[in-house]
Amino acid sequence: MSRGSGLRAVLAPVLVASTTLASGPLDRWLDSDHERQRLPGALREVSGLALDDRHRLWAHDDERGVLYRIADGGDEVVERRVLGPEPVLGDFEGLAWDGQRFHLTSSTGTLVSFAPGTEERVESYTVHRTAASEICEVEGLAYDPPSDRLLLACKTVTHRPWRDHLVVLEVGVPDATDTGATEPLPVRPRILVSPDALDEAGAKPLSPSGITRAPNDDGWWIVAARQRRIVKVDDDGRVVDEARLPSRHQQAEGIVVERGAVLTLVDEGGNGRARITRYERPEPPRNP
């Protein structure tokens, strides 16, 4: 697929304006009781989180096709999945679970997909390129069950008409039996927020590093490590909430909502150990 044909597959959505935000639930969430723990050294460069259908938490680093399951409510690695008879290397920037398979995305939007099985070594996996590389640098991946689509968050947008926008692309879940695909999978914008709308919401600029479905399935939470900010975008593409991350978050690279509506963020370690922080769901505000 040429660059031109790839971009023609992108459908232009309507830009939705935001409204000025007051202090919202995200502020209260980040002010709630929390627990912060160090992760093992193997996850120093942790780059994404995902929950499987048993609500087990998995993480990956950004250089190798290796998944680590983190103990429930804890910080220990209790099992691993290692891709390939030979090491699978890449600039991995997001992880998602679709109910049957895990998907890793690279910064160019290439998807590595596999069923985890029960053995540590996973020799069967597929690799599919997407047209996301024509639009942006990807950092963040999520699965949307109602549409059966994968969402790719754009950290740095290179497609000129959308520069400075908040862009989240969607792509169909790769066919597990299609191992010889030569054409990139087409993408289209799922979320496209204009710079003016971001500015009005107090969230400009925004360079996503992770994305997850919000509690109650009423939108998406997007975290941005560079700006130390988290925003909520509804299903109509409007920024409806935003908050500054506490200073404890030096480089938030992954976000999920665990069982009991626990907001979980993971920070890359840099020169030290990566850390995982779990925020309890805040109490609803009392009526005056």
The average pLDDT across 170-198 equals 90
* Mean of all residue pLDDT scores within the chain: 89
CA distance linking residue 85 with residue 160, whole number of Å: 40
| Element spanning 229, H or E | strand 229-233
Q: What is the predicted pLDDT for the residue at 11? A: 42
Q: Which runs of E-coded beta strand occur in 107-194? A: 111-114, 121-122, 126-128, 136-144, 149-157, 166-172, 188-193
CA distance linking residue 254 with residue 28, whole number of Å: 20
Q: How would residue 216 be classed by pLDDT, with cut points 50, 70 and 90?
A: confident
- Where do the domains of the chain lie? 3-279
How does pLDDT run across 134-151, given as a tens digit for each residue?
A: 999 999 999 999 999 999
CA distance linking residue 67 with residue 114, whole number of Å: 11
Q: Per-residue pLDDT for 70 more than 60?
A: yes
> What is the percentage of the chain residues whose pLDDT exceeds 90?
74
The CA-CA-CA angle for residues 174, 265, 93, to 5°, reads: 35
**Using CA atoms in the order 132, 211, 218, 157, what is the torsion angle rounded to 10 degrees?**
-40
In sequence order, what are the beta bridge partners of 138?
A: 154
Q: What pTM, to 2 d.p., does this model score?
A: 0.90
Residue position matching structure tokens 């054409």: 183
Pick among 3.40.50, 3.30.70, 1.10.3470, 2.120.10: CATH of 3-279:
2.120.10
Q: What is the predicted pLDDT for the residue at 72? A: 87
For the chain, how long is the longest CA-to-CA vector? 62
Q: Is 19 exposed, middle or buried (0-12, 13-18, 19+ CB in 10 A)?
A: exposed
Q: What is the predicted pLDDT for the residue at 44? A: 92
